[in-house]
Amino acid sequence: MATLSVPAAVPAVAEDCEQLRKAFAGWGTNERLIVSILAHRDAAQRRAIRRAYAEAYGEELLRAIGDEIHGKFERAVIQWTLDPAERDAELANEEAKKWQPGGRALVEIACARTPAQLFAAKQAYHDRFKRSLEEDVAAHVTGDFRKLLVPLVSAYRYDGPEVNTSLAHSEAKLLNGKINEKAYSDDEVVRILTTRSKAQLLATFNSYNDQFSHPITKDLKEDPKNEFLSTLRAIIRCFTCPDRYFEKVVRLALGGVGTDEDTLTRVITTRAEVDLKVIKEAYQKRNSVPLEKAVSKETSRDYEDMMLALLGAEY
């Protein structure tokens, strides 16, 4: 379900490094060459290239890239080249430091990764920032959002398939009661959403649907401008339908006055090796236009090349 395309015959790591070195050399930069290499290597291959590059030239590859290219193209190439766990650590740190209620990186990292991947991101966070993710979120986020996001990024959820159906039934009822009272940030709502396993939550949301004849997300739509409610919906949708969740994020990023490149880059770099093919299908279905075409219309030059390459567009 990934869109990443790796050539059948991948060049040797040393050759990739040499080519990248050439792309950086002399006046001007060969951006196409950078894209043609890095956008077509998987996480393990990129890691090997970074290690070999640093050994061969005594310089970090990401630093060399930063010296050569700039702006949103630089951001996309660097974010993509990072290991998934390091990338998540970077995105989480950026969002925690300048928290705004519409932020989605923390929600996605907490809910659209496996518990093991979230833990790997937290380890990478320690290594890079010499602090923990939870302490930074707790220190920068305030109010109801803090109450929700700190446990959301802290919990190490169970990842197995076991489900307690009677618990799902009673917790669905409990959620419905709190929602009816408009007690959206109630301790019990936070407890259920931040600690239960994905399988258990899916059972709870299904039971909600069965008991109350419509999805829980519908009941959380009272006020479309209420950012706390839309964060709750984002959490639920990251668990229940990540493809449609990400489709919507991309649609809004492309659709506003001016494109939201940071968001577009985040979704494409974090999903290209996971499920971007399914997100593309959801996009086509919802918008009657291929995602590549929409991205191509809203972006340009090297940044466009990079996005299209990760989207698996045919050259």
Binding site for a second copy (CB under 8 A): 119, 122-123, 126, 130-135, 138-139, 146, 150-151, 154-160, 162, 187, 191, 195-197
For a second copy, the closer CB: 189 or 229? 189
Short-list 37, 34, 39, CA closest to 4: 39
For a second copy, the closer CB: 191 or 251? 191
For residue 94, the minimal CB distance to a second copy (Å) is 18
For residue 125, the minimal CB distance to a second copy (Å) is 8
Q: Does 258 carry a binding-site annotation? A: yes
For residue 44, the minimal CB distance to a second copy (Å) is 24
For a second copy, the closer CB: 193 or 311? 193
For a second copy, the closer CB: 40 or 146? 146
Q: Does 298 carry a binding-site annotation? A: yes
Q: Does 204 carry a binding-site annotation? A: no
Q: Does 29 carry a binding-site annotation? A: no
Q: Does 299 carry a binding-site annotation? A: yes
For a second copy, the closer CB: 191 or 244? 191
Q: How many residues does the chain have?
A: 315
3-state helix, strand, coil in the chain (%, to 5): 70, 0, 30
Cα gap 211→214, rounded to integer Å: 8
Q: Is 183 helix (H, G, I), strand (E, B) or coil?
A: coil
**Amino acid identity of 90?**
E
Sign of CA dihedral 140, 240, 178, 226: positive
For residue 139, the minimal CB distance to a second copy (Å) is 7
For a second copy, the closer CB: 110 or 294? 110
Q: Within 7-114, where are the H helices?
A: 13-24, 31-38, 43-57, 61-68, 71-81, 84-97, 105-111
For a second copy, the closer CB: 140 or 293? 140
Cα gap 44→52, rounded to integer Å: 12
Q: Is the Cβ–Cβ distance between 84 and 44 less than 8 Å? A: no
For residue 114, the minimal CB distance to a second copy (Å) is 12
Cα gap 220→185, rounded to integer Å: 12
**Axis-axis angle for helices 84-97, 71-81 (nearest 10):** 130
Cα gap 32→22, rounded to integer Å: 12
For residue 210, the minimal CB distance to a second copy (Å) is 22
For residue 313, the minimal CB distance to a second copy (Å) is 39
Q: Is the Cβ–Cβ distance between 29 and 65 less than 8 Å? A: no
Q: Is 215 helix (H, G, I), strand (E, B) or coil?
A: coil
- Report how far apart, in Å, the C-alpha atoms of 298 and of each of 7, 268, 304 are: 28, 14, 8
**Residue stretches of the annotated binding site:** 24, 26, 28, 68, 258, 298-299, 304
**Residue stretches of the annotated binding site for Ca(2+):** 24, 26, 28, 68, 258, 298-299, 304
